[in-house]
Amino acid sequence: GAVDKGVDFANYFCTYAFLYHQKEMLCDRVRMDAYFNSIFQNKNHFQGKTVLDVGTGSGILAIWSAQAGARKVYAVEATKMSEHARSLVKANNLQDIVEVLEGSMEDVVLPEKVDVIISEWMGYFLLRESMFDSVICARDRWLKPTGVMYPSHARMWVAPIRSGLVDQKKNDYDGAMDDWYGFLDDTKNSYGVDMSILTTPFAEEQEKYYMQTSLWSNLHPNQLIGTAAIVKEIDCLTATVNDIREVKSTFSSTISMEQTRFCGLAGWFDVHFRGRIEDPAQQEIELTTAPNTNNGTHWGQQVFLLHPPVHVDQGSNLDISFSMIRSKENHRLMEVDFDVKISQTSGKILPSIKKKFYIE
């Protein structure tokens, strides 16, 4: 369906109009280092070239591109953040190179095609926000046939985890339901209305909130209890909107930890800066949001909890089918389905677990 621009602004773009939010991204050192290195260690892609920055925000990537020697940089931003980007460009004396254009990428008209499209378009679990659509649109319209995408590739990962969150969320849910039953009594006794008919829908609402909504988390690597699998690979130079509208994958994971609880699945992504085959990067750079002992990223991982957790042992096998589609109500949010079959080391196969999640 067509997207109402006003609604999309109210739901999505509004947050990006705050410097506070841009600063959160600018403070993510893993992210910053990756883009910084991808540009300054691959000056060949920037020197004397024309660049398009899709969703420039504060203008940081456009400014780096100019500092790395670009001849011209078009920096497109949908929100009023464009005004701050423009003043930042000026304060860094790059106003002759960086041109900030306020508008949707989908609407903006450039005076020429570009050699490089750079963008930081990744949302939680890569595809939340559906901003890559705008990058695809920019690419198809404005990238020269010989042009390069920054980043050039992206991958989505899934792995089984253990996590105390599974107990915490179950407790929260139980607490909410206890509270509900107290409320039913009060309403009946004090106000003469029997609301018990609403118990089922209230429980469903709370279950969705506490147990079926994926959670942001920066996991410790030792919370990963089995092999991680790639569920999607994207070549940013060729991917179409149709390729990313739905992600489907069937894969196996072997439990690599002794006597543990399988509490759910975690999803994350990485992106790579490799240039293009005919014009490769001098230095390939990777930005990963995998669980890490050092700095997490502001993306963290998305955690999908399975209630109740299942005891598994080293060598247990998980056969997982995964699918992710956009929510019908809001194309920038996602719905995820997992179907998990556990084969224990004894050979016993447990009844398969189907669960639906919302990335809100």
Q: Which residues are catalytic?
A: 120, 129
Minimum distance, C-beta of residue 242 to ligand SAH, in the bound complex (Å) = 18
Pick between residue 8 and residue 335 the one whose CB is nearest to ligand SAH: 8
Question: Any contact of residue 105 with ligand SAH (CB under 6 A)?
Answer: yes
Does an H or E element contain 168, and which? helix 165-191
Closest C-alpha among 324, 322, 316, 326 to residue 348: 316
Residues 61, 97, 154, 340: which binds ligand SAH (CB under 6 A)?
Answer: 61
Minimum distance, C-beta of residue 341 to a second copy, in the bound complex (Å) = 34
Binding at 195: pick from ligand SAH, a second copy, none (beta carbon under 5-8 Å per type): a second copy
Minimum distance, C-beta of residue 21 to a second copy, in the bound complex (Å) = 10
The backbone region for 173, taken as left when phi is positive above 0, alpha when psi lies in -120 to 50, beta otherwise, is alpha
Pairing of strands 279-288, 260-276: antiparallel
Site for a second copy in 172-211 (CB under 8 A): 180, 183, 186-187, 190-198, 201-202, 205-206, 209
d(CA 151, CA 116): 10
d(CA 95, CA 169): 51
Residues 58, 119, 253, 289: which binds a second copy (CB under 8 A)?
Answer: 58
Binding range to a second copy, per CB under 8 A, among 89-97, 112-120, 234-242, 267-275: 89-97
Binding at 75: pick from a second copy, ligand SAH, none (beta carbon under 5-8 Å per type): none
Q: Which two tokens stand for residue 300?
A: 């963290």
Residues 34, 54, 70, 88: which binds a second copy (CB under 8 A)?
Answer: 88
Residues 67, 104, 213, 343: which binds a second copy (CB under 8 A)?
Answer: 67
Cβ count within 10 A of residue 24: 12
Minimum distance, C-beta of residue 19 to a second copy, in the bound complex (Å) = 5
Pick between residue 191 and residue 221 the one whose CB is nearest to a second copy: 191
- Which residues are registered as beta bridge partners of 123? 126
Site for ligand SAH in 11-40 (CB under 6 A): 13, 16, 25-26
Binding at 265: pick from a second copy, ligand SAH, none (beta carbon under 5-8 Å per type): none
Alpha helices (H) in 192-236, listed in sequence order: 199-211
Cα dist from 62 to 51, 104, 127, whole Å: 8, 17, 23
Q: What angle do CA 216, 24, 43 make, to 5 degrees?
A: 110
Looking at residue 198, the DSSP 8-state letter turns out to be G
Q: Position 18: which residue type? A: F
Pick between residue 134 and residue 163 the one whose CB is nearest to ligand SAH: 134
Q: Which two tokens stand for residue 71?
A: 């001849």
Pick between residue 109 and residue 197 the one whose CB is nearest to a second copy: 197
Looking at residue 301, the DSSP 8-state letter turns out to be E
d(CA 84, CA 89): 9
Question: Any contact of residue 137 with a second copy (CB under 8 A)?
Answer: no
238 close to 136: Cβ distance less than 8 angstroms: no
Question: Any contact of residue 55 with ligand SAH (CB under 6 A)?
Answer: yes
Q: Which two tokens stand for residue 311?
A: 């005891």
Pick between residue 185 and residue 279 the one whose CB is nearest to a second copy: 185
Binding at 194: pick from a second copy, ligand SAH, none (beta carbon under 5-8 Å per type): a second copy
d(CA 114, CA 110): 9
d(CA 201, CA 189): 22
Question: Any contact of residue 76 with ligand SAH (CB under 6 A)?
Answer: yes
Binding at 18: pick from a second copy, ligand SAH, none (beta carbon under 5-8 Å per type): a second copy
Closest C-alpha among 272, 283, 262, 238 to residue 44: 283
Binding at 345: pick from a second copy, ligand SAH, none (beta carbon under 5-8 Å per type): none
Question: Any contact of residue 270 with ligand SAH (CB under 6 A)?
Answer: no
Binding site for ligand SAH (CB under 6 A): 13, 16, 25-26, 55-58, 60-61, 76-79, 81, 104-106, 120, 131, 134
